[in-house]
Amino acid sequence: MKVKVRVPATTANLGPGFDVFGAALSLYNEFEVEYVPEAKKTHFTLKGFGKKSLPKGEKNLFWQSMQKVFKVLGEDKYNLKNLNIIINTGIPLSGGLGSSASAIVGGIVLANALCGNKLDKTQVADLAVKIEGHPDNVIPAIYGGICICSKDGNHGAVVQLPIPKLKIVLCVPAFELRTKRSRQILPKCVDFQDLVFNTSRVALLTAAFCCSDFSLLKMGMQDKAHQPYRGKMIPAMDEVLEAALSAGAYGACLSGSGPTLAAFCSAKYAVNVQKSMIKRWKRDSVRANAYVLNFDGKGAAVI
């Protein structure tokens, strides 16, 4: 028996929607598992961005997430020896594109498929949020599109917004920033005026997508909750975001916990935005790659 799952990259927060907003993008990791009952040796193959850096075996997040499903379902047939695992990482690992979320979602969806899809989508989502700790990467990776995710104890509410006809330019610098570090530097308390600022921006952000009024995205992607703190670890972050806006983007923000930056624009301006962001970062000696992507409307899928 062989199962293959494809999981999209995600961009979380969309500026002010810290731990709440997330969107699935047309860049993918693929996970393939073959059940070989008589096999006696581990076959764990890594391809793509994670080829040299991701752990093989017990420490691999994809495998650990599969195991969580086996545990929940009381399934003890599968182990690292009788599963031939191939992971192809098309999502860069440097940070801000939901690569860990993709491994978690890939592991849960694939193990669930091996076990006859006994978990429904809500149970898959609840388990993924429990493993990841916050919902804004795993939920869009499961559902696709632009999602508003609210946690309520062990469960969550998910609202999918209309998918706009916009391109997403992702500018990925050649340095890494771990989410753990990027969360540690955030303040314990939020200033009341900053709370009002962010609440108003989240309202504009929601309105921009619901009303297809993308002129609202410039203000709607502004943030005072996390970007100013994270910007201290990302050279010229504000200048690169400004360069994207000057080159024609409707809105621009830090992608998740960074260091990747995201800009949202019409197809007409995508290449211009891409070039401007790379050029501006180069002035501060930061090498970067940029991708022009679409929203993914489907989420994780068995293929």
> Between the CA of residue 83 and those of 72, 87, 248, what are the distances in Å?
19, 13, 48
For position 296 contacting ligand HSE by CB under 6 A, the verdict is no
Nearer to ligand HSE, 118 or 229 (CB): 229
Report how far residue 243's alpha carbon sits from residue 221's, in angstroms, rounded to the nearest whole number. Answer: 15
Nearer to ligand HSE, 227 or 276 (CB): 227
For position 223 contacting ligand HSE by CB under 6 A, the verdict is no
Is residue 97 within 8 Å of residue 255, measured between CB atoms? yes
Continuous H helices in the chain = 61-73, 99-114, 121-132, 135-143, 179-184, 192-210, 217-220, 227-230, 237-246, 270-283
Residues contacting residue 224 through CB under 8 Å, at least 6 positions apart = 16, 191, 194, 197, 198
Report how far residue 166's alpha carbon sits from residue 169's, in angstroms, rounded to the nearest whole number. Answer: 10
Q: Hey, how many other C-beta atoms are within 10 angstroms of the C-beta on 161?
A: 16
Convert residues 235-264 into a mask of x (bound to ligand HSE by CB under 6 A) and - (unbound).
---------------------xx-------
Convert residues 146-185 into a mask of x (bound to ligand HSE by CB under 6 A) and - (unbound).
---------------------------------x--xx--
Q: 261-265 and 167-173: which strand pairing?
A: antiparallel
Convert residues 11-40 into a mask of x (bound to ligand HSE by CB under 6 A) and - (unbound).
-xx----xx---------------------
Residue among 6, 134, 167, 224 that touches ligand HSE (CB under 6 A): 134
CB of 87 to ligand HSE, least distance (A): 20
Of 29-37, 46-54, 133-141, 262-270, which part binds ligand HSE (CB under 6 A)? 133-141
For position 88 contacting ligand HSE by CB under 6 A, the verdict is no
Binding site for ligand HSE (CB under 6 A): 12-13, 18-19, 134, 136-137, 179, 182-183, 226, 256-257
